[in-house]
């Protein structure tokens, strides 16, 4: 007698359901949807990543929560989902980047690193005795031009001009679809990132809880300071405050 019902097909990663689904991969995607939002935006001379760490209690030291990781001087990764799983992939990415420099005496391309990481993620959907990584990654970097890739627990990846992962992904992307302009400047990108994070924030954005990095031609990886974020938030104060009013009207 053959197994019946979805529960019969979600006990092993190597077993497809009759309609061609791998339930463990879909469960991993659910872990990503519950993660804090992370966003990426490409602009005229670079690319940025930003996350709202969503610190739930004042007892937590914000600096201890890390969601954006530097891979090389020209590549960074933002994560959403299970951060412990992401750290394993981050270490692999750093080794891949250094191995490429030693072998070819040049920095690894963003696309090549993305493909190698996604090959690893795909392997964990194919063999028994393991489970998929419960994390999605935004891989941002600069070779001759800025690149931004979104990866999935299945090992699939897609390149974007602007995108989001984690909680409220669709809401953030709706903001980006309305506001994104090709060739936009750095400050425009920073403002759009903050508006996107604000659209899914449960409360008021705090500069201490936001991590943001820039990768640009010439200066490579740079972390945006809390003071710079605070100045941008102050400049957007009226626009950010408009969100609660809109929600109240809809209710």
Residues 51-105: tens digit of each pLDDT: 988 777 788 887 888 999 999 999 999 999 999 999 999 999 999 999 999 999 9
Residues 175-186: tens digit of each pLDDT: 999 999 998 999
Cross-sheet strand order for the sheet of 220-223: 162-165, 38-43, 46-52, 210-216, 220-223
pTM of the model: 0.89
Topology at the third CATH level for domain 23-250: 3.60.20
Residues 7-43: tens digit of each pLDDT: 666 777 778 888 888 888 999 999 999 999 999 999 9
CA 130 to chain centre: 23
Residue 236: name the closest of 209, 197, 185 by CA: 197
Strands 68-72 and 210-216: unpaired
Residues 109-153: tens digit of each pLDDT: 999 999 999 999 999 998 878 889 999 999 999 998 999 999 999
Confidence of residue 6 (pLDDT cuts 50, 70, 90): low
Do 136 and 153 touch, CB atoms closer than 8 A? yes
The tokens for 116 are 């190698």
Give the E-state strand segments of the chain in sequence order: 38-43, 46-52, 68-72, 75-81, 135-142, 146-151, 157-159, 162-165, 210-216, 220-223
């Amino acid at each position: 007698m053959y197994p019946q019902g979805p529960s019969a097909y979600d006990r092993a990663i190597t077993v497809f359901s009759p309609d061609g689904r791998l339930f463990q991969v879909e469960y991993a995607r659910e872990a990503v949807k519950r993660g804090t939002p992370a966003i990426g935006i490409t602009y005229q001379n670079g690319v940025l990543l930003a996350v709202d760490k969503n610190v739930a209690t004042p007892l937590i030291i914000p600096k201890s929560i890390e969601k954006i990781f530097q891979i090389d001087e020209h590549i960074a990764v933002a994560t959403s989902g299970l951060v412990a799983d992401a750290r394993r992939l981050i270490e692999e990415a750093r080794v891949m980047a250094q191995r490429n420099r030693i072998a070819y005496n040049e920095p690894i391309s963003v696309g090549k690193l993305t493909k190698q990481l996604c090959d690893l993620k795909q392997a964990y959907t194919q063999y028994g005795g393991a489970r998929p990584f419960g994390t999605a990654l935004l891989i941002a970097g600069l070779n001759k031009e800025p690149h931004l890739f979104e990866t999935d627990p299945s090992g699939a990846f897609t390149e974007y001009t602007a995108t989001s992962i984690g909680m409220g992904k669709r809401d953030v992307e709706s903001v980006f679809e309305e506001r994104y302009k090709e060739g936009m400047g750095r400050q425009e990108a920073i403002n759009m990132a903050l508006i996107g994070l604000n659209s899914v924030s449960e409360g008021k954005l705090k500069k201490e809880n936001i991590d943001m990095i820039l990768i640009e031609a010439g200066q490579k990886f740079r972390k945006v300071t809390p003071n710079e974020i605070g100045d941008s938030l102050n400049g957007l104060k009226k626009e950010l405050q408009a969100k609660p009013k809109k929600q109240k009207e809809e209710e």
